[in-house]
């Protein structure tokens, strides 16, 4: 890492910790990067052992947690990548998939509850995860909205199986007598310290379902002791009373999930899923209008309406922003220094071939600068140009294309539109070529080449670069005759423009040889 850059903590000689994203009784969760595979990760750090701790038991609990989570191979459970003991710090850590999602708490807070289809879709996905966990003899024991995320495509992710119990295993993952769970979602048998079973998770799922549909918890007592008392002894109001219009069958299912005695709850998570099927949207159905305040939230019904659908394309509409100010204020000193440190860090990552992390580091710096001085500030626009170039190096051509198109639009309305807007258009054309949009890319390359010929001629450095891109794209598109004709002219000009041994001359000669090979 370059001198002056922020030195992040590295554990296991490959995992770079970035930001603290969660803290609880079981440890801290950090976002970070795998320096070897250049991908974002989540790292769960178990606190250092206290003086009175039983080290062998603690290590055994940690190993079991890692194995429990790793055995749950389902899209609804974050994947485990690694687990180890940081002997230097005396703490253990678990490396997992970093989920970019919204906590379910954002959905439970919706006024008046969620649409029936949304609530059913979330609960059906949770039930699916539980069915896989229970089949592997794993009980979550602390299922709650805080431990559920919705990814951008509407997929539900169930987190923190860290205090899960392995059924039939003599080793307890938590100390004997310790009350585990969250009182608002705790089953009566859990409160009493009784036998934990898969049906304990079903009760918690019932609490979540009730809250999603009613817009409030089952028991909204502010005092924990009273909440526990109600969960143990009080029968909740039917959903048909709490929320008028709730289907009788759905209200009955939630009531059964919230039964005080485990044997009166549904047989298993599969039964819950099957009883929810009637409330899920059919494949190909139109999306339900999102509730107020959740306009930008992920739609949990998408996985049922559009199963196995391709990734939804990002909008490519050009964004018109304010033109660059003529005499902008400089970035604040502290922010300017922070941005330069981020750029130094980025260049160091690029030298190591860690393009994805480099793009992430610069992206955060851009977000901070934008918040301080606005998106139209020249320094912000320069940083966005760099960011788009790094995205291209990371082969994230779709995101790079959208940024180059947006920047071309911004620069095109500024006081010096020609050079910067043209450069963005050129890079956007390269992105289109990489994305297989050959026809559009050729059209844009052609327009740019015509513009360059009018000012710099046919053999300027920029013109030669565009001509080379056109030849390569023609060849890729199967237009061999056009490519062959163009490469002959290009090779002739390259002899006069570049010295012997120059890479452009070698490329032209090689391309000419390839295009001259007769087709079979």
- One-letter-per-residue 3-state SS of 440-509: HHHHHHHHHHHHHHHHCCCCCHHHHHHHHHHHHHHHHCCCHHHHHHHHHHHHHHHHHHCCCCCHHHHHHH
- 3-class DSSP state for residue 507? helix
H helix or E strand, kind and range, residue 150: strand 148-151
Tokens of 7: 């030195």
pLDDT attached to residue 510: 87
What's the CA gap between 119 and 150, in Å, rounded? 12
Fold exhibited by the domain 101-290+298-305: Transferase(Phosphotransferase); domain 1 (1.10.510)
Which residues touch 294 (CB under 8 Å, ≥6 apart)? 106, 107, 110
Owner of token pair 């258009």: 425
Strands (E), 35-99: 39-46, 80-86, 91-97
**In degrees rounded to 5, what are phi and psi of residue 139?**
-110, 135
DSSP designation for 479: -
Q: What is the pLDDT of residue 71?
A: 80
On whether the CB atoms of residues 331 and 369 are closer than 8 A, the answer is: yes
> In residues, how long is the chain?
520
Instruction: Give the ranges where 277-320 is alpha helix by DSSP (H).
Output: 302-305
Classified by CATH at the fold level, domain 333-516 comes out as 1.25.40
* β-pair partners for 11: 15
In this structure, what token pair is assigned to residue 331? 């970035």
Tell me the Cα Rg of the chain: 29
Helix (H) or strand (E) holding 156: strand 156-158
Architecture (CATH level 2) of domain 10-97: 2-Layer Sandwich (3.30)
Distance CA 401, CA 430 (A): 9
Catalytic residue, candidates 18, 34, 142, 356: 142
Looking at the chain, the domain(s) classified CATH 1.10.510.10 span 101-290+298-305
Residue 5 confidence (pLDDT): 40
CATH 3.30.200.20 domain extents, the chain: 10-97
| 295 catalytically annotated | no
Return the closest-CA partner of residue 188 out of 177, 175, 199.
Answer: 199
Q: Which pair of tokens denotes residue 495?
A: 């002899």
- pLDDT at residue 50 in the model: 47
8 A C-beta contact, residue 38 and residue 357: yes
Q: Indicate the burial class of 430 (C-beta count within 10 angstroms; 0-12, 13-18, 19 or more).
A: buried
Q: Beta strands of 431-502 (E only): which ranges?
A: none
Q: Do residues 468 and 504 touch, judged by C-beta distance below 8 A?
A: yes
Residues of the chain whose pLDDT is less than 50? 1-7, 50-52, 168-177, 316-328, 519-520
Please tell me the pTM assigned to this model: 0.73
Q: What is the DSSP letter of 309?
A: P
Measure the CA dihedral 375/376/378/382, to 10°: 50
Distance CA 170, CA 172 (A): 6
Residues of the chain with CATH 1.25.40.10: 333-516
User: In the block, which residue shows the tokens 């788009």?
Assistant: 388
């Amino acid at each position: 890492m370059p001198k002056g850059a922020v030195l992040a903590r590295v554990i296991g000689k490959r995992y770079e910790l970035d930001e603290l994203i969660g803290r609880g009784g079981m440890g801290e969760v950090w976002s970070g990067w795998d320096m070897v595979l250049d991908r974002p990760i989540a790292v769960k750090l178990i606190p250092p052992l206290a003086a009175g701790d039983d080290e062998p038991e603690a290590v055994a609990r940690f190993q079991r947690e890692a194995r429990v989570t790793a055995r749950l191979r389902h899209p609804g459970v974050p994947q485990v990548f690694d687990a180890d003991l940081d002997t230097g710090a005396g703490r253990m850590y678990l490396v997992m998939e970093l989920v970019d999602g919204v906590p379910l708490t954002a959905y439970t807070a919706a006024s008046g509850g969620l649409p029936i289809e949304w609530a059913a879709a979330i609960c059906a996905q949770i039930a699916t995860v539980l069915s896989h966990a229970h089949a592997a003899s794993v009980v979550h024991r602390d299922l709650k909205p805080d431990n559920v995320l919705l990814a951008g495509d509407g997929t539900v992710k169930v987190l923190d199986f860290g205090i899960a119990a392995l059924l039939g295993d003599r080793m307890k993952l938590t100390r004997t007598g310790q009350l585990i769970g969250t009182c608002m979602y705790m089953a009566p048998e859990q409160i009493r310290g009784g036998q934990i079973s898969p049906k304990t998770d079903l009760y918690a799922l019932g609490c979540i379902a009730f809250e999603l549909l009613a817009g409030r918890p089952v028991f909204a007592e502010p005092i924990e002791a009273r909440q526990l008392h109600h969960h143990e002894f009080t029968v909740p109001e039917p959903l048909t009373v709490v929320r008028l219009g709730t289907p009788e069958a759905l209200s009955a299912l939630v009531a059964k999930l919230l039964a005080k005695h485990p044997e009166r709850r549904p047989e298993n998570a599969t039964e819950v899923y099957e009883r929810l099927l009637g409330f899920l949207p059919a494949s190909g159905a139109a999306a339900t209008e999102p509730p107020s305040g959740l306009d930008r939230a992920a739609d949990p019904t998408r996985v049922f309406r559009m199963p196995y659908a391709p990734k939804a394309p990002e909008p490519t509409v050009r964004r018109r922003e304010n033109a660059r100010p003529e005499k902008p204020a400089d970035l604040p000193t502290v922010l300017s220094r922070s941005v330069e440190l981020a750029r130094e860090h980025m260049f160091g990552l690029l030298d190591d071939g860690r393009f994805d992390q480099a793009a992430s580091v610069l992206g955060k710096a851009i977000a901070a600068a934008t918040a301080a001085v606005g998106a139209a500030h020249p320094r912000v626009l320069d940083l966005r140009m760099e960011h788009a170039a790094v995205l291209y190096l990371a082969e994230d051509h779709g995101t790079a294309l959208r940024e180059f198109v947006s920047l071309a639009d911004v620069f095109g309305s500024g006081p010096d539109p020609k050079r910067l807007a043209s450069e963005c258009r050129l890079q956007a054309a390269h992105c289109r070529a990489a994305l297989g949009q050959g026809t559009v890319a050729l059209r844009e390359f052609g327009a740019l080449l015509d513009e360059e010929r009018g000012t710099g001629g046919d053999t300027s450095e920029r013109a030669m670069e565009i001509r080379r891109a056109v030849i390569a794209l023609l060849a890729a598109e199967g237009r061999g005759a056009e490519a062959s004709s163009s490469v002959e002219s290009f090779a002739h000009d390259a002899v006069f423009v570049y010295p012997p041994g120059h890479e452009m001359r070698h490329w032209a000669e090689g391309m000419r040889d390839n295009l001259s090979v007769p087709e079979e």
